[in-house]
Structure 1
Amino acid sequence: MTAQNTALVEALTARLGEGSVLTLGSDIEGYLVETRGLYRGEALAVVRPRDRDEVAVVLQECARAGVPVVPQGGNTGLVGGGVPSGGIVLSLARLDRIRDLDPVNATITVEAGCILKAVQDAASAAGYLFPLSLASEGSCRIGGNLATNAGGTAVLRYGNMRELTLGLEVVLADGRIWDGLKGLRKDNTGYDLKNLFIGSEGTLGIITAAVLKLFPEPKARVTAFVGCASAHAALQLFGRLREQAGDHLTAFEYMPDFGLEIVLKHRPGAVRPLAERHAAYGLIELTAPQQDTDLQGQLEAILGTALEDGLVQDAAISASDAQSQGLWALRESLSEVQRLEGGSIKHDVAVPVSRVAEFIETAARACEAQMPDVRVCAFGHFGDGNIHFNLSQPVGMDKAAFLAHWERFNRIVHDIVHGMNGSISAEHGIGLIKRDELVLYKDPVALDLMRSLKRALDPQNILNPGKVVASVLPQ
């Protein structure tokens, strides 16, 4: 380290304590590697503050030294947004307190290091629901959920993190603290500052706490797994459910036949939910806050008519919580088992709901035309237009040789998304993996506004540099 960097580490150690500043290679290794192994960074140290004031100290010292700061939560991101390229890794894991739960206001105030599952459990203990649900909820942290504007499986009913958040506490690049922890559903006193920071991936400020919305805990629930002849049939079924079930419709997840088959192949104990194979599958869930709501009868009636009309070929409806969990496990295992099929080129995109089926079929044909044996695994959240359009390597192909085609397939998929007035990043963020793609597809005026915000809030470019629009700023 240079003398300046050594002085910074010594200053942070003196102010926060030795246990809060890690410098040994064996201690910091886990903070340098992206969860999928696509990126590996380097850092001077990992700093583990205990509260927002210590976060402010870190920012003050790093701003004085002109040293970059990369925030990390659970390090479960999928786009390289938490990978450092020198400087300090700021781990928020020790900011894990639930500060308040207001049952009348239906809010919970939590620190950024809280694991998502802990927030869900705290809400449930009070008889409420915090509805954000992700496959990584046992390890991802609220700060990262906010920084990426996480979505998950319940966006259809409850919205993503932006819709679930009422207030924030943020430490700015110079160490100042913005206290916006208000649990207000109406507040027109100027600009809505919190939405600058949600989804900014730590490039504008470090989120240290948030006021989140709570909802009545569901007392009735029913889950179904249905087989359809095509993505278009599944989309028609979704429209019918949305119309006839209304707010009871909480989730509608889409899986292709290939996706279900690799789950059955690799997940121990997985059971085929339907007697025959189908081209497309829907995982449906209805919920209600009243125990006596006949959701099963409602769902049976809707699916019965859909069967008669040919939208559904077969269906299985859960008769217990255990059966419901078993159906959900099929969907939640899909992301994990893909790696067991070799290399996977992933696209997290969104198009208007009305065009999701068209997108899946158009993009699949285009990719298969370029590589006939590629295996398309397009799945995701039909109800909000978010499709994880992933490509598994052809059987027998070398993994590295397949992944070398990533940019080629990006252009194919993202061009189709852009042509449908969609987004190349739906819920995972931009990070490193899409920073150059953003320049290709984002409206130039929007990019200019984003750069102006970055310069105004982080003039030294020390907050997670190299990510999102920071990649086009001088470093």
Structure 2
Amino acid sequence: MNSVAPSSFLVACTDAIGAAHVLTDPHDTAPYLTDWRRRYTGNACAVLCPSTAEEVAALVRIANQHRIALVPQGGNTGLAGGATPDESGAQAVLSLKRLNRVRDVDPHNNTITVEAGVVLAEVQARAAAAGRLFPLSLAAQGSCTIGGNLSTNAGGTGVLRYGNTRELCLGLEVVTPQGEVWDGLRGLRKDNTGYDLRDLFIGAEGTLGIITAAVMKLHPQPAAQVTALAALPSPHAALDFLSLAQRHTGPLLTGFELMSDFCLRLVNRHFPQMRYPFAEPHAQIVLLELSDSESEEHARALFERLMETALEDGLVEDAVVAENLAQSRGFWNLREHIPLAQAEEGLNIKHDIAVPISRIGHFIEETDAAIAKAVPGARMVTFGHLGDGNLHYNVQAPEGVDAKPFLAQYQSAMNRIVYDSVHRHRGSVSAEHGVGQLKIDEAAHYKSDVEVRLMKTLKAAFDPLNLMNPGKVLR
């Protein structure tokens, strides 16, 4: 580590949180300096590991005195480089992993109060122990933290019924850029007493302040969950099937994941134990799940009626309902192994985008055609949360083409094709991964001047010294 911070900064930090929690040795700091995708590697004058909100506040005040920028970091599982320092060595990483306490579980209020460094899987487990459900579910739930989930407004597989992380949060505790602690840990569903500060900090990726704790909503545990796979001829049919499923099952429909045929072929290629689920190929596969408060029998009866109607209407070409928990887990494993199979296949051009649900079929058709014209043979890995309009729309190099030079030659052009199409359909270039440093230029390019100016005004008002995660979200 090549520190450019004054030694007095490190001494003050050591006095505030103890020498064992001010990391400067390169061996100790290395895990904090590279993002999960290994796209970015930065440098830092120190990695600071406080254990309380008060210690975070003290470190922020010290950073202000020494004009040291802070990069908040949770589980370091982000996908847009939002928690990675720059290469200057002048910034400090502020790890929140030691803020890992569950402060309160209130079953009657259906809330859980947790610190920012609590791992998502632990929140789920503590909710389950109280007979409740915390519905946020992500592939990285064994290592991502609630602070990171809030900072990027993470989505996951349950958004259709439960909403993004923002919808699951009732209150926050935040350390401001001035080193003050705002206690907004109110477990209220209704609080109409002024500006909604909570929502400003959620999704801000640590650029307006540092989230140190949150009050999160809990829900009743479902009596049963039933999972099915349905094969469809097109994305348009998938949209019609989604509408039909919502009419038949209402709020019981908690998952509706779209996967192209190539996605599952790729999984089967690299994980042969995960077989293609149907005897014949189908253009699109939908994974859907019902969470029923009554019984498994009730959920299965709903599924049977839904599938009968969908088959009769020609929306669904084939279907299979999981007979047990193991088979249900197998269906979800197919979905969750798509990114892993992509990685095995080689580097690819990733896009985490959102368009209005009604436009998804048109977006896929038009954008696929534009990419095929620009790069004949390019393979599309299209999957995502159809129920909320979020697609992971990724471009794999043509068969047999070296992926690294393919990315070097086509990444910029592919991004422009995809993001221009997203913009035409009034969508977003980032749905659930955040902006970070990866999409900072694209986000600004597609926003209006008015919107960018308002965001910069907020940033300057909250963080006039620009020490809160600079170079992320906004330039």
Whether the aligned pair in 1 keeps the contact of 2:175 and 2:181 (CA below 8 Å) is: yes
Q: Does 2:155 match 1:151?
A: yes
Shift of 1:293: 5.5
Q: How does 1:9-24 map to 2 (within 5 A)?
A: 9-24=10-25
Pairwise CA RMSD of aligned residues?
A: 1.2
Whether the aligned pair in 1 keeps the contact of 2:155 and 2:163 (CA below 8 Å) is: yes
| 5+ long unaligned stretches in structure 2 | none
- Tell me the residue number matched to 2:465: 460
| CA deviation profile, 1:284-335 (whole Å, cap 9, x unmatched) | 1011122365111111111111112211111010111111111011001111
Structure 1 CA distance for aligned equivalents of residues 270 and 5 of structure 2: 51
Shift of 1:407: 1.5
- Tell me the residue number matched to 2:440: 435
TM-score when normalising by structure 2: 0.97
1:303 to 288, 304, 307: 307
Shift of 1:174: 1.4
Structure 2 CA distance for aligned equivalents of residues 153 and 368 of structure 1: 29
Q: Does 2:291 match 1:291?
A: no
Structure 2 CA distance for aligned equivalents of residues 201 and 3 of structure 1: 25
Q: Does 2:196 match 1:192?
A: yes
| CA deviation profile, 1:147-181 (whole Å, cap 9, x unmatched) | 00000000000000110000000001111011000
| CA deviation profile, 1:179-229 (whole Å, cap 9, x unmatched) | 000000000010010000000000000000000000001111110011111
Q: How does 1:224-373 map to 2 (within 5 A)?
A: 224-267=228-271, 269-291=273-295, 294-373=298-377
- Tell me the residue number matched to 2:212: 208
Shift of 1:395: 2.2
Structure 2 CA distance for aligned equivalents of residues 337 and 34 of structure 1: 20
> Which one-letter code corresponds to 1:30 in the other structure?
P
Structure 1 CA distance for aligned equivalents of residues 466 and 232 of structure 2: 50
- Tell me the residue number matched to 2:31: 30
Shift of 1:2: 7.1
Whether the aligned pair in 1 keeps the contact of 2:352 and 2:433 (CA below 8 Å) is: yes
Greater shift in the superposed pair: 328-337 or 206-215: 328-337
Q: Does 2:41 match 1:40?
A: yes
- Tell me the residue number matched to 1:420: 425
Structure 2 CA distance for aligned equivalents of residues 228 and 275 of structure 1: 13
| CA deviation profile, 1:349-397 (whole Å, cap 9, x unmatched) | 1111101111111111111111011110111000000011111122222
SS in 1 for 2:6: helix
> Which one-letter code corresponds to 1:27 in the other structure?
D
Whether the aligned pair in 1 keeps the contact of 2:109 and 2:187 (CA below 8 Å) is: yes
Overall identity of the aligned pairs, in %: 52
User: Residues 2 and 147 (structure 1 numbering): CA distance in 2 closer, same or farther, change over 3 Å?
Assistant: closer
> Which one-letter code corresponds to 2:187 in the other structure?
G
| CA deviation profile, 1:100-151 (whole Å, cap 9, x unmatched) | 0111100000000000000000001111000000011011000000000000
> Which one-letter code corresponds to 2:117 in the other structure?
G
Shift of 1:3: 7.8
Q: Does 2:402 match 1:408?
A: no
- Tell me the residue number matched to 2:164: 160
Whether the aligned pair in 2 keeps the contact of 1:341 and 1:393 (CA below 8 Å) is: no
> Which one-letter code corresponds to 2:211 in the other structure?
I
SS in 1 for 2:157: coil
Structure 1 CA distance for aligned equivalents of residues 4 and 280 of structure 2: 68
> Which one-letter code corresponds to 1:96 in the other structure?
N
Greater shift in the superposed pair: 332-341 or 249-258: 332-341
Structure 1 CA distance for aligned equivalents of residues 5 and 77 of structure 2: 32
Structure 2 CA distance for aligned equivalents of residues 344 and 187 of structure 1: 45
> Which one-letter code corresponds to 1:11 in the other structure?
A
2:393 to 375, 389, 393: 389
- Tell me the residue number matched to 1:82: 83
User: Residues 68 and 277 (structure 1 numbering): CA distance in 2 closer, same or farther, change over 3 Å?
Assistant: same
- Tell me the residue number matched to 1:140: 144
| 5+ long unaligned stretches in structure 1 | none
SS in 1 for 2:28: helix
Structure 2 CA distance for aligned equivalents of residues 439 and 61 of structure 1: 32
Q: How does 1:46-57 map to 2 (within 5 A)?
A: 46-57=47-58
Greater shift in the superposed pair: 264-273 or 252-261: 264-273
> Which one-letter code corresponds to 2:17 in the other structure?
L
TM-score when normalising by structure 1: 0.97
Whether the aligned pair in 2 keeps the contact of 1:264 and 1:270 (CA below 8 Å) is: yes
Whether the aligned pair in 2 keeps the contact of 1:170 and 1:209 (CA below 8 Å) is: yes
Greater shift in the superposed pair: 304-313 or 2-11: 2-11
SS in 2 for 1:468: coil
SS in 1 for 2:328: helix
- Tell me the residue number matched to 1:115: 119
Structure 2 CA distance for aligned equivalents of residues 379 and 98 of structure 1: 34
Greater shift in the superposed pair: 40-49 or 283-292: 283-292
> Which one-letter code corresponds to 2:427 in the other structure?
G
Whether the aligned pair in 1 keeps the contact of 2:382 and 2:391 (CA below 8 Å) is: yes
Whether the aligned pair in 2 keeps the contact of 1:169 and 1:210 (CA below 8 Å) is: yes
Tell me how many residue pairs correspond in the alignment.
470
| CA deviation profile, 1:388-435 (whole Å, cap 9, x unmatched) | 111112222222212222221111011111011111111101011110
Whether the aligned pair in 2 keeps the contact of 1:46 and 1:89 (CA below 8 Å) is: yes
1:223 to 219, 222, 227: 227
